[in-house]
Amino acid sequence: MTPASAAFVTRWVARAWSVLNILIIFMFAIGESLRPLGAVPTYQEWIALALWPVGVAIGLLVSWLREVLGGLIALFCLASFYFWTFLRSGHLPHGPFFFLIAAPALVFLLAAILSARSATLS
């Protein structure tokens, strides 16, 4: 497989995975909005929500046009979310769910590396 075709395949895997993950985030948001009105999130929870899922989703969307920028935005938001959660509670979130939703950012960065590599080989 040539570097150009590897970049193409990697890019479309990242795009498909990011769409799936954004749809999952959207379904969670709809599910939460259907609950009876209860407690309003605190400012600390709003900050966490701004980082994950909103910041991660924005990074994944930006990655469709600018792979490196979007990938870095998503990974920065994920790392900031983990840091913020640790500061608030003294422990990291459990399970792989948060990372798996942001994982296409790594694939977008890989696609950018493969594209740059195929450009230098051409």
The full set of domain ranges for the chain reads: 3-121
Residue 20: pLDDT above 90? Answer: yes
Nearest to residue 76, comparing CAs of 93, 52, 40, 107? 52
Percent of the chain predicted with pLDDT > 90: 80
Confidence at residue 56, expressed as pLDDT on a 0 to 100 scale: 97
Ramachandran class of 39: left when φ > 0, alpha when ψ lies in -120 to 50, beta otherwise: beta
Say which residue, 42 or 109, is predicted with more confidence: 109
pLDDT digits (tens, 9 = 90+) for 21-53: 999 999 988 877 777 776 778 899 999 999 999
